[in-house]
Amino acid sequence: MGIVELQNVRKVYPLGKVQVEAVKGVSFSIEKGDFISIAGPSGSGKTTILNMIGLVDQPTEGEVLLGGKPTSKLKDSELTRLRHETLGFIFQSFNLIPVLNVWENVEFPLLLGKTRVGKGEKNEWIDHLIEEVGLSEWRKHKSNELSGGQRQRVAIARALVTRPQIVLADEPTANLDSATGEQILELMKKINRELETTFIFSTHDARIVDIADHIIRLRDGLVIENRRREEPAGTIRTNMVGASAGAGA
Amino acid sequence: MPVTMRMAFRNLIEHRAKSLIVGTLLALGMLIMVLGNAFLDASKRGIQTSFTQNYTGDIIITGIADGPVSLFGVQSVGGMEQTPTLPDYGKLFDHASTLPGVTAAAGMASGFGIATNESTDMSTNHEDQDSRESMMDAVMMLFGVDAANYWKLFKTIEIVDGHFLAPGESGVMIAADRLDKLAKHLKRDLKVGDEVLIQGINSSGIRLRSAKIVGTFKRVSEGAGPEQLTYIDIDTLRVLAGMTVGASENIKLDSTETSMLGNGNVDDLFNTDSFGTIDTPAQASSGKPLTEAGISSLLGDTSARERLNTADTGAWHSILLRLDDPAKAPLLIKGLNTWFAQEGIAAIAGDWQKAAGPYAQSVDVLRIVFTVAIIILAIVAIIIIMNTLVVSIIERTGEIGTMRALGAGRIFVRELFAAETITLSVVFGIVGMGLAFVGSAIINGIGFKASNQFLEILFGGKILHTIINPMALVGSMVVIVLVGILASLYPVSVALRIQPVRAMQS
C-alpha cells in the first residue's frame, strides 16, 4: 500500500455557466520516500491533483487515501489536523508570512498543532533546519529582505519543521533562476535521502523530472505516463491501484 | 507573547494606513465619549452642588400627585396648580427633623408671581422683544419659606441689604442683581423697604398682594438655578398660590341649596322682574319678598369670603432636610418612605434630583441625547471599520490560505483577527483617552463662561468644567472594544470562508 493513493479521482470546476473537467478519473499510488514528479503542460491538471493530495481541495468523484485512510468524508477540522501532522507545503510563490522573520516563519507550523514540543528541543530543531537550508545568518530577517532562492529555502525549512511524511511542492523552481533552482532541488533531494521524506512535485521543469524517482505525466486531466525512473519512458504502471493507473490512459 | 498577538501587532504596523483609518475612528469615538461624559458628569455634579447647597438640601418630602413633585411643582400638564400640600405637616416635620443625621429641616411652598404696578394695563401688548424681556424680569419664582428654619438650612444665602425674613414677618427678599431689572420693569426706583405688588395666578383666579422688600440677597455658592427666585413669607405665598382656607375647606351643600342651583333659567337671574318671584329658602324663612336692596345687603357682607381667602396656615408643599453626610440620603429616604406607608401618610421622600425636578432632568435628557448620538456614531464607525477590514482581509487572502494550508484551524484565524481588532481598539482607545485628558485640561484651563441661564444649567454652573470619571473611562473602553469586535464579525466570517486552496492560487 502506498503512502498516497488516488482512486478514480475526478475534479470538475464550475467556470461561469460551464463545467470544466480538470481531472478525468485518475488513479495512481505513491510509495513512502519517493521523490516524485507530476509533470505536464499548463492545464493538464497537475496542480489540481497536488491540491487534492494536499487536502486543500476535494475530488468531485473518487477517493484520495493518505496512509491508507480515505479523506473524502473528513470534516474541515480533521483535514486541518491531517494536513498539519502529515503534510508540508512548498509553494510556487513561497507564501512566507510577511510579518514574521525567517526563524518565526519556520517556527509557525509548530505553533498550530495541539502537540507541544519542549522549547529547547523545538529551538534546536528550527536552528538545525535553518542551518541545513543555509540561512543561519538571515534568521532574523523578514521575507521582504530575502532573495527568491532564500525565500524558497525558508519555505523548505518550514515545510519540514513538523517532520511531515510528505512534502508537496507546487512548481518550486518556477520563480527562481536556474542556478538557484538547481541548488534548491539539490537541497530537497538531500533531505529526501536523509529524512526519507516523500517529495511530490507538480512541475514542468525538466530538471526535476530528471532527478525524480517516480514520474507521472499528465495531459488534459489524464495520466499518460506513470513509471519509476529506471523504467522506459511511456510506461504506464498498472500495478499501483488495482488494475487502473489512469482512466483513458 | 502568543503568536496571534505578535502577528496582530506586526500586522497593524505593516498595514499602517488601514490601522490609522480604523484607529483614528476609534480614538475619535473614545475622545467624544470620554469628553462628553466628563462634561455631563461635571454638569450633573455642578447642578447637584448648586441645588443641594442653595435650593433642595439633601432630602425632600412632598405630597403625592399624578406626576413627580419637585420644588417647582408637579411635572404634569397641570403643573404648579396641582402641587399637593403635605398632609399631617406637623407630624411629618417633627419626625423628619429629629431623625439621626438630619442637621436642619424647613418647610416651604412654591408659586409663581408677576411683579406689577397698580396702573399696569394687563392687556398691554408684550410682543416686542424689549417688552418680552421686561416681562421676564417681572416673573418671580416664589419660595414661601419657614423663616424660623429655612436660613439655617441654606447658609449660602447672604444678605446684601436689609435683613432675612423673620418668623411671622411679611415681605419678600429679592436677589440683589435682579432689583434693578425689576425697578426698570416697574418704571420706578426700588429699594429695601419699598412695597411691591405681586400678582399670583392659580386655578382659583388672580390674586394681588403687596409685599415689602425686607432684603436683597446673593449666594456664596453660585451655580445653575432659577434666576427669578424670590423668597417670600409663607402666608403671602399661600394666598398668592391659592393655598387658602377656602381652597382647603370641604364645603358641602345641603339638598335645598343643590336643588336651587339646579333650577331656573340662568337668564332669569338678570331679569329685574324676577326679584319678586324668586322663592328662596331665605325668603321663605323670613317671610319677606327678596328685593334688590335685600340682595345688596346680603352681598355686602364679605366676612365669609374674607375668612375663606385667608391663608391656610397648615399648608406646605414640602419639607427639606439637610444631612450631616449626604451619602446617608438613600438610607434615610428609604426609612422615611417606609414610615409614611406604615402611618398611612400620603407623602413621599426623595433625593435632590427629585427636588430639582426639571433642572436635574435636563442633564439626564442631555445624557440620553448624547447616548443616542454615540450609538449613531458607533454604527457609522462600525460600518467604516468593517469595510476597511474586509478590504484588508481580501488583500490577505493568500496569507490566510497559506496559514490554513499549513494547519491553522478556523479558531486560529478567528483569534488572529480578534487579537488585531482588540489591539487596535485598546491602543487607539488609550490614544483617545490621552486626547480626552488633554482636551479636558484645555477646557478647564480656558474656563468658558456661561453667557445665559440655559448654558448655566448645561454647564452646571457659571463656568464650563469637565470631570473625567474613572468609571466612564472603563465604560468607554468597553464600548470601543465592543465596537471593534462588532466591526470585525463580518470580516472574520469572510476570512473564515477562505479555503486553504487559495494559498496555491496566490
- A111: chain B residues, CB-CB within 8 Å: 3
Which of the residue ranges B110-119, B136-145, B402-411 would you say has the lowest mean pLDDT? Answer: B110-119
Does residue A139 sit within a domain? yes
Cβ–Cβ contact A93 with B under 8 A: yes
Q: Report the pLDDT value the prediction gives residue A2, as an integer from 0 to 100.
A: 84
B45 burial (CB, 10 Å; 0-12 / 13-18 / 19+) is middle
Q: Give ipTM to 2 decimals.
A: 0.87
Does residue A181 lie in a domain region? Answer: yes
**Grid cell for residue A248:** 483513458
Residue B307 has pLDDT above 70, yes or no: no
On whether residue A245 sits in a domain, the answer given is: no
Query: Is the CB of residue B419 less than 8 Å away from at least one CB of chain A?
Result: no
Q: Is residue A62 part of a domain?
A: no
Higher pLDDT residue, A143 or B137? A143
CATH number at residue A124: 3.40.50.300
| C-alpha to C-alpha distance for B267 and B245, rounded to whole angstroms | 32
pLDDT at A26 over 60: yes
Q: Does A115 touch chain B (CB under 8 A)?
A: no
| B269 or A153: which leads in pLDDT | A153
- Predicted confidence (pLDDT) at residue B464 exceeds the cutoff of 70: yes
Q: To the nearest whole angstrom, how far is the Cα of A13 from the nearest Cα of chain B?
A: 13
How would DSSP label each residue in A105-129? HHHGGGGTSS----HHHHHHHHHHH
pLDDT of residue B280: 52
Cα angle value B27/B33/B37 (rounded, 5°) = 150
Q: Which of A123, A179, A107, A119 is nearest to A148 (CA)?
A: A179
Which tens digit of pLDDT belongs to each residue from B254-286? Answer: 666 666 656 556 666 565 554 555 555 555 555
Summarize chain B as % helix, strand, coil (round to 5): 55, 15, 25
Kindly tell me the number of DSSP H helices and DSSP E strands found in chain B: 20, 12
Higher pLDDT among residues B299 and A77, named by residue: A77
For residue B467, the model assigns a pLDDT of: 87
**What does the pLDDT read at residue A239?**
42
CB contact under 8 A, A100 and B11: no
DSSP β-ladder status, A61-66 and A69-70: antiparallel
pLDDT digits (tens, 9 = 90+) for B213-241: 999 998 876 666 676 789 999 989 888 88
Please tell me which residue, B246 or B14, carries the higher pLDDT value: B14
pLDDT in tens, B47-98: 888 888 888 999 999 999 888 888 888 876 555 557 888 998 999 999 999 9
Number of domains in chain A: 1
Phi-psi region of A205 (alpha: psi -120 to 50; beta: other; left: phi over 0): beta
Q: Give the best residue of B3, B404, B406 to mutate against chain A (max A CB count within 10 A).
A: B406
Q: How far is A129 from chain B (nearest CA, A)?
A: 17
Instruction: Please check whether residue A15 lies inside any domain of the structure.
Output: no
Mean model confidence pLDDT for chain B: 82
Query: What is the distance in angstroms between the Cα of B13 and the nearest Cα belonging to chain A?
Result: 9
Looking at residue B268, what is its pLDDT? 60
- Would A133 be classed as within a structural domain? yes
Q: Does B414 touch chain A (CB under 8 A)?
A: no
- Distance from the Cα of B432 to chain A's closest Cα (Å) equals 27
pLDDT at A21 over 70: yes
Residues of A in contact with B408 (CB under 8 A): 80, 112
Reported as a single tens digit per residue, the pLDDT across B163-190 is 999 998 999 999 988 888 888 888 888 8
Average per-residue pLDDT for chain A: 86
pTM higher than 0.90 for the full model?
Answer: no
A46 interaction partners in chain B (CB closer than 8 Å): none
Whether A89 sits inside 8 A of B10 (CB atoms) is no
Please choose, from the candidates B10, B25, B14, B6, the residue with its C-alpha nearest in 3D space to the C-alpha of residue B388: B25
State the pLDDT at residue A179. Answer: 81
Is residue B441 within 8 A of residue B206, CB to CB? The reply is no
Closest Cβ–Cβ partner in A54, A112, A158 for B412: A112
Domain range for residue A133?
A: 32-56+74-228
CB contact A175 to B (< 8 Å) = no
Residue B31 pLDDT: 92
> Which pLDDT does position B123 carry in this prediction?
47
The 10s digit of each residue's pLDDT in B342-375 is: 999 999 999 998 888 888 887 788 889 888 988 8
pLDDT (0 to 100) of residue B136: 74
* A234 inside domain: no
Using an 8 Å CB-CB cutoff, list chain B residues near A100.
Answer: 7, 10
Residue of A47, A50, A112 with shortest CB distance to B406: A112
| B118 pLDDT above the threshold of 80 | no
Looking at the predicted structure, is the pLDDT value of residue A189 above 50? yes
Residue in chain A nearest B502 by alpha carbon = A56
- Top-ranked range on mean pLDDT: pick from A243-247, B149-153, B177-181: B149-153
CB contact (8 A) between residue B504 and residue A91: yes
For residue B409, give how far its alpha carbon lies from the nearest alpha carbon of chain A (Å): 6
Q: Which three cell numbers stand for residue B296?
A: 345688596
Residue A110 lies in a domain: yes
